[in-house]
Structure 1
């Protein structure tokens, strides 16, 4: 198997980066469909309007319906075709950005990702996670290339709710452990090749930055302050996690997240919060060194990531209640197959119960 590493065409990050958005988007097209949620669009509108005008870009906005599902993608693609857009600009969180990437693929035009939160690694990936209209995971839509532009204004990120930054750290937390598992099995990464040494090193750096700067970044975000720690964590959540997962591969942590989406009680928990618990589950499942497990528990608790199923909204936890999630996590085509050993639903349920017990015990210490 050949080694493959993929990445966005251009990554721009910093306080006030939105003031330069027109300069970068002008390299991609001159008529933009800008789609996003109300909060996301409100946070960028003034700077985007000015910068687009200065760079000769015509644009129009369309509100994103809230779920990255086939129906919403089809609706927005029809609007993009009717308007003659030659570039798609996604603004907001992971689902809005994934939808923009899917629309751009159907339109065969470039796409720019402008995250207004640092809650997932979606901005950089050549992937759209497709859900049902009700929010249940359906499939991964693998795209032929990464976004042409990813632009992150850390002034905007610092003003977003801190829980979203913390959730992003939960998503990024899985990157190294899943990459490591895939390196053992030589499992194919998202573009279908073997991971590179560079991608594995970036995944490790992502984990190291989380441990070193995560708490300081959370504190800075609570003060709406852009500090060096916040900049490092935004980069870890967005760029390093994106490059690490995509070019190294996913494993149990994300499979557990995907499985938990069938449990309606977890729908109020954010993606990264469920992935964080999936990371603990993966560590239990693979019999990781206790020092590593407690390092992850300590980090998660220090920044407020959930370490128990109750914190994810699940009440009256039992084997029977978790079994549907475990079965979904182990279904054909999931990333559970990238683990270094055969994993069954029974093993996943027991690992989830074991992770939950460790989390409860840690909280009581």
Structure 2
């Protein structure tokens, strides 16, 4: 920061990150040094066998874990209920094992109760296991807002063996979410004079390039080195940009579109990164049409076929919105354009009507401009 600049505070990374095959077993002595009676937080029935194994391992290490389960997304109803359970059980740490919403809930509970936080991602669908941020939703799954936390987790356990067992769809979703780091950070922060922000933007560019090169092979072969690079890029590296570069490096229009889409029940079956990936296409259309940025059109032409190959949604129909009414789509756009939305990090004004047009045309190819004679 330059002379006279306000003090900046950064929560950049977990205190300890263990990654690779067997990371969970390696983490067990560290967990025992952090707590004796942790709560093990989870949600889905699909990951229940993994959580049972983790709980059994903790018990064999002499710990006394209790289990807690989210009934919805990371919402206040669940947070209040589980917070009371933790207090009643005198738990001394929170271990969150699951997808992004479980990890967000675990981090927020640990933050509020001032307990050690251990994150154990069970997919590479988001970087929530890394960050000092939690997204909060309504009980029905509509995005409400985000909460900045005072620190990243005390321990992040990124066990490749656990991650490999997640459905391939979760990795594709993670790829889309991680790709957004470049498209959002570059438009919101590329002109910053802050050295850390500049470095975060360039890290996001390298991250995008690696995902462009490795994603297809990673999706085809979970035993490949490409899979390792991509899974760690999505679950680990993608978390660095927001911590290093701050909020403006985290989210812009792509995430604002995600937040708007969550207001519709028909979209609740789509994963976080699936909505964000669609949001990138929307953002690029806005940049090309409203910002006059021909490079955004080129980026759209490059990204669209990759998202299709990965089985990610690229149009409203893919998101289950084929029969959505005009009123529904306007609700999405109104939420994305509301005061304080990340959408306003774009360097130009976006109206509800302009966003609606970009939303409808997101999956249509942008024509290549004619070459100059």
How high is the TM-score relative to the length of structure 1? 0.89
- Partner SS for 1:91: strand
Instruction: Spell out the pairing of 1:1-365 with structure 2 (5 A cutoff).
Output: 1=5, 5=10, 6-37=12-43, 38-46=45-53, 49-50=56-57, 53-54=60-61, 56-184=62-190, 186=192, 196-220=197-221, 225-246=222-243, 247=245, 248-287=249-288, 288=293, 289=295, 290-316=297-323, 320-358=327-365
Distance, in Å, in 2 between the alignment partners of 1:203 and 1:194 is 14
Contact 1:4 1:195 in 2 (8 A): no
Distance, in Å, in 1 between the alignment partners of 2:59 and 2:191 is 47
Name the larger-Rg structure.
2
- Partner SS for 1:130: strand
Contact 2:40 2:67 in 1 (8 A): yes
- Counterpart residue number, 2:370: none
1:161-212: CA deviation from partner (whole Å, max 9, x where unpaired): 111111111111211111112214649xxxxx98533322321222112111
Contact 1:12 1:151 in 2 (8 A): yes
Q: 1:90 to 1:57 in 2, by over 3 A?
A: same
Deviates more, 1:157-166 or 1:242-251: 242-251
Aligned-pair CA distance for 1:51: 5.5
Deviates more, 1:231-240 or 1:337-346: 337-346
Contact 1:183 1:195 in 2 (8 A): no
Aligned-pair CA distance for 1:78: 0.8
Any runs of at least 4 consecutive aligned residues in structure 1 with deviations exceeding 6 A, and if so which?
none
Distance, in Å, in 1 between the alignment partners of 2:51 and 2:69 is 14
User: Which stretches in structure 2 are left out of the alignment for 5+ residues?
Assistant: 368-373
Distance, in Å, in 2 between the alignment partners of 1:285 and 1:195 is 27
Distance, in Å, in 1 between the alignment partners of 2:115 and 2:131 is 16
Distance, in Å, in 2 between the alignment partners of 1:249 and 1:172 is 10
- Counterpart residue number, 2:371: none
User: Which stretches in structure 1 are left out of the alignment for 5+ residues?
Assistant: 188-192
Distance, in Å, in 2 between the alignment partners of 1:149 and 1:172 is 21
Contact 1:283 1:293 in 2 (8 A): yes
Aligned-pair CA distance for 1:321: 3.9
Q: 1:139 to 1:195 in 2, by over 3 A?
A: farther
